[in-house]
Amino acid sequence: MNIVSERKYYDSRIKKIFTLKNNHKTSNLIILKDENIYYLTGFYGKDSGSILLIVDNDIHLLVNFIYLEQARKSAKNKNLNITCYKKNKFRELAKILEDYSFSSVGVEGKNISLTGFRKLEKLLSANSKRLVNIDGLVENLRIVKDEFEISKIKNACKITDKVFGSIINSGASAINKLSEIELACRIEQLMVKSNSEGRSFDTIVAYGKNSSMPHYSPQKIKEKGGLILMDFGCKFENYCSDMTRTIFTRNQKICNEFKKIYDIVLKAQLLAVENCREGVACGQLDRIARKFITSKGYGHNFRHRLGHGVGIEVHEEPAVTMENRTVLRENMVITIEPGIYIENFGGVRIEDMVIVGKNGCEVLYNSKKSFFILD
């Protein structure tokens, strides 16, 4: 896509922000989260401490001078003032704001530390400006994806499918030669070779009993045969994928022990996919899967939310938790990933990404989900 048609997307997002901010207590915004800045400008300075200012009808991007070249090359908006700072970004920010006469400005409370807030508050109060919390303003805009984003996400998922296929095709004996950490590394290498920008988060590979810890970090441990849980994803043009499959190798006895819980997780997953559509609340969807797992006696072992939004961040809005009343809308992208975890035995999780549609959802993966023992 050329720069002109890309610009269209960024400019239309900024336009939406201009509309939204008028519904808030303030019409001036300080955007601090790197992903929100990327969404609105095309400049992605991960951990760069950049600031996007939307005030009156002006847009200012404030970056550390290390990032100036990157910002100039990647920010796409038509009317954007790029300023760089050397040391104190909040002081520089206050200086820019001096030229404006408004009295209050919004800041993202979840994306600023208490210490940062106190500093900024002091600087702005000297100029009679007050900070108000505008948590979630950009995140709520990012929750529904446009076609530009969906095409990137689909590419990321396609690559993820392909990599899972390659791992499976390499066969059980090749996999069993690798430690957890080596298999994780192999997956990440295949993602890079398949034209992605690499992992979207640290790959989880858990063998056997280790799989009972949902947020496990792979170790230098090998497994002679049994359960292998793989949770991984890649980035394609800054958009993420996220998939989990639990597979089994060799040791027939161990594998059969897991078959029962595998089938419960799979049924819960399919049930949630079936019920995922515009108009259903996130909490409702979570409860559908949870109720099923609970009815089979494993409610206590489903120890996390059903899913989460995916986009520029691998975990973003909406959180598909029991309590979340957010109603699903067309073109939201979420994961559906129930799991059952039994301490000192192991865990099974099956995760797909889906695009919410008017009358159902589109599953973004083709990778096999039914129980099988790999030869």
> Which CB sits closer to a second copy, 218 or 311?
218
Beta bridge partners of 270: none
Q: CA 61, CA 77: separation in Å to the nearest integer?
A: 11
Task: Report, in Å, the least distance between residue 276 CB and a second copy.
Answer: 23
- Whole-angstrom distance, CA of residue 195 vs CA of residue 192: 6
Q: Considering Cα of 205, then 347, then 201, then 151, what sign does the dihedral take?
A: positive
Report CA-CA distances (Å) from 314 to 121, 218, 318.
Answer: 31, 19, 12
Minimum Å distance from CB 277 to a second copy?
26
User: Among 8, 15, 128, 198, which residue interacts with a second copy (rule: CB under 8 A)?
Assistant: 198
**Tokens in use for 235?**
């980035």
Token digits of residue 278: 């515009």
Q: Report the residue from 3, 4, 215, 370 that binds a second copy according to the rule CB under 8 A.
A: 215
Residue whose CB is less far from a second copy, 52 or 356: 52
SS3 letters across 169-216:
HCCHHHHHCCCHHHHHHHHHHHHHHCCCCCECCCCEEEEHHHHHCCCC
Stretch that binds a second copy, among 15-23, 150-158, 209-217, 349-357 (CB under 8 A): 209-217
Q: Which of residues 25-64 bind a second copy (CB under 8 A)?
A: 45-46, 48
- How many residues sit in the footprint of a second copy (CB under 8 A)? 45
| CB 69 to a second copy: min, Å | 5
Q: Does residue 130 interact with a second copy by CB under 8 A?
A: no
Residues 146-185 close enough to bind a second copy by CB under 8 A: 181-182, 184-185
297 binds a second copy (CB under 8 A): no
d(CA 199, CA 4): 29
Min dist CB 362 to a second copy, Å, is 28
| Closest among 293, 306, 294, 304 to 353, alpha carbons compared | 306
Residue whose CB is less far from a second copy, 39 or 44: 44
Site string for a second copy, 243-282 (x = CB under 8 A): ----------------------------------------
Question: Does 372 contact a second copy by CB under 8 A?
Answer: no
> What is the edge-to-edge ordering of all strands in the sheet holding 316-320?
316-320, 307-309, 333-336, 352-356, 361-363
- Rg of the chain in Å (alpha carbons): 23
User: Which DSSP state fits 242?
Assistant: -
Question: Distance between CA 96 and CA 100 in Å, rounded?
Answer: 8
Cβ 358 to a second copy shortest distance, Å: 32
* By CB under 8 A, residue 109 contacts a second copy: yes
Enumerate binding residues for a second copy (CB under 8 A). Answer: 45-46, 48, 65-67, 69-70, 87, 107, 109-118, 133, 135, 181-182, 184-185, 188-189, 192-193, 195, 197-198, 212-217, 219-220, 303-304, 323, 343
